Amino acid sequence: MTDTLAGRPPIAQERRIVTAIPGPRSQELEARRRAVVPVGVSSALPVYIDRAHGAIVVDVDGNQFIDLGAGIGVTTIGHTDAAVVAAASSQLADFTHVMFTVTPYESYVRVAELLAEHTPGDFAKKTVLLNSGAEAVENAVKIARKHTGRPGVAVLEHSYHGRTNLTMAMTHKAMPYKLGFGPFAPDVHHAPGSYPFRDGLSGAEAAARTIAWLEKTVGAADLACLVVEPIQGEGGFVVPADGYLLALQEWCAATGVVFVADEIQSGMARTGRYFASEHSGLVPDLVLSAKGIAGGLPLAAVTGRAEIMDASHPGGLGGTFAGNPVAAAAAVAVFDSIRSRGLLAEGARIEGVLRPALLGLQRRFDRVGDVRGLGAMLAMELVTPGTFEPDPAAVTAVTAYAAQHGVLLLNAGTWGNVIRFLPSLAIGDELLIEAVGVIEEALAAL
């Protein structure tokens, strides 16, 4: 554990609640926030964060939470990871911005090399860097349209792809993401997907349904791309049935539809591989990264087959802050850390501790309908006992109880009835077990 730059004492990797939650200082800040931040920007837990390290966040009242969310899967290698702090700090002192499309710099190129090396597929690849996940999705669509000369965009039910106009159109859930924010970008088609717990279909059956739906209602010849999350994130950590995504990829290859894997939440060592696509043998035409790629700094990427990526004319892709040098330096440090510290093994370690613990909860509580996920991306879906009826109220109660007891827990799912676990890879086994113990108490108290 290193000291922070400010020379403050290191943060012990332990849970500690010393005030009511939220504490008095957080409540003061919340009152100031209400005056100046619109209600549209809400916070899952209004404790104001002072600092963080590893798998612990510390609020302004001195409470320490076990962080099972990592800022929605962003600080994947841990909060204030020493290598990331050092790389970003050093770049900060050298230069913070020149704009790659005005005068370039090495770290952008290095990130592109690393992504070419670590995304699936043994062929020439190129990368454009952006600021946010939504912007990566937008650029993938631009590139696929330019490459194919076709307009249509296909996505799956329960998808989440962002909050910009085009990506709202590509996101499945109306509340809170879309309601009243339309009209949306046209020519976006939501096909039925694969949700084994709810549809009971095999991968082959679900793929046949998706493909038939797309062929009947759109037609492959009008589709530029099919964008899928290898594991659906906001949709509830839905892992499609075996063979489903591979069948879609084959259909795309046969019909000239660009197959895009949105790995913004599932990528970058989250599931024990660099990209979740690898678990199912996928070789997407384009892979989207963001979130965990730069250790908490804003950076996103579209990486893909060189001939597709090169479809755009010079000057067609870019953005002022896109590929910011501080964020790019942090991304290089994240890649180096994953390799030099063997962090790909951590996803399997976390799954090895967490999955049996969650299955234990499922045996004890019949409202735990499903336990699923991969690596450090696991979830449980809560239902009314003995049914498939979603129980979002139970999730709200469990996450509220957990917060009061020092565990930061996120929900997910189209019905809001999924508890998701996406801790940083830095979390120790003891903290994981302790956190599950708190969740067990919460379930027992329902």
Q: Which residues contact 414 (CB under 8 A, 6 or more apart)?
A: 157, 158, 172, 173, 235, 236
Alpha helices in 150-260 (DSSP H): 165-170, 196-199, 203-217, 244-255
Across the beta sheet with 410-412, the strand order is: 368-374, 377-382, 418-421, 410-412
Q: How far is the CB of 229 from ligand PLZ (least distance, A)?
A: 5
In the chain, the amino acid numbered 28 is E
Q: Which residues contact 380 (CB under 8 A, 6 or more apart)?
A: 358, 361, 362, 368, 369, 370, 371, 372, 418, 419
Q: From CA 57, how far away is CA 14, in angstroms rounded?
A: 10
Q: How far is the CB of 9 from ligand PLZ (least distance, A)?
A: 32
Q: How far is the CB of 231 from ligand PLZ (least distance, A)?
A: 9
Nearest residue to ligand PLZ on Cβ basis: 133
Query: Would you call 10 helix, strand, or coil by DSSP?
Result: coil
* Closest to 315 (Cα-Cα) out of 101, 128, 145, 97: 101
CB of 354 or CB of 412, closer to ligand PLZ: 412
Per-residue CA distances from 190 to 126, 132, 220 (Å): 28, 23, 14
Q: How far is the CB of 277 from ligand PLZ (least distance, A)?
A: 13
Q: How far is the CB of 133 from ligand PLZ (least distance, A)?
A: 2
Q: How far is CA 281 from the centre of its chain?
A: 20
CB of 23 or CB of 298, closer to ligand PLZ: 298
| Positions in the binding site for ligand PLZ (CB under 6 A) | 72, 132-134, 137, 160-163, 229, 233-234, 262, 264-265, 290
Q: How far is the CB of 140 from ligand PLZ (least distance, A)?
A: 10
CB of 229 or CB of 381, closer to ligand PLZ: 229
CB of 63 or CB of 277, closer to ligand PLZ: 277
Q: How far is the CB of 124 from ligand PLZ (least distance, A)?
A: 25
CB of 137 or CB of 436, closer to ligand PLZ: 137
CB of 37 or CB of 359, closer to ligand PLZ: 37
CB of 160 or CB of 251, closer to ligand PLZ: 160
Backbone angles phi, psi at 407, to 5 degrees: -125, 120
Q: From CA 378, how far away is CA 420, in angstroms rounded?
A: 6
Contact yes or no for 223/214 (Cβ under 8 A): yes
Task: Please report how the helices 325-340 and 82-94 are oriented relative to each other, as an axis angle in degrees rounded to 10.
Answer: 150
Query: Would you call 48 helix, strand, or coil by DSSP?
Result: coil
CB of 252 or CB of 276, closer to ligand PLZ: 276
Q: How far is the CB of 264 from ligand PLZ (least distance, A)?
A: 4
Q: How far is the CB of 422 from ligand PLZ (least distance, A)?
A: 10
Backbone angles phi, psi at 324, to 5 degrees: -45, 135
CB of 64 or CB of 265, closer to ligand PLZ: 265
Task: Record the tokens describing residue 169, joined without a space.
Answer: 């159109």
Q: How far is the CB of 429 from ligand PLZ (least distance, A)?
A: 27
Q: From CA 152, how far away is CA 259, in angstroms rounded?
A: 13
CB of 140 or CB of 436, closer to ligand PLZ: 140
How many DSSP H helices and E strands does the chain contain? 14, 15
Q: How far is the CB of 67 from ligand PLZ (least distance, A)?
A: 16
* Closest to 366 (Cα-Cα) out of 382, 378, 355, 390: 382
CB of 44 or CB of 212, closer to ligand PLZ: 44
Q: What's 236's DSSP letter?
A: T
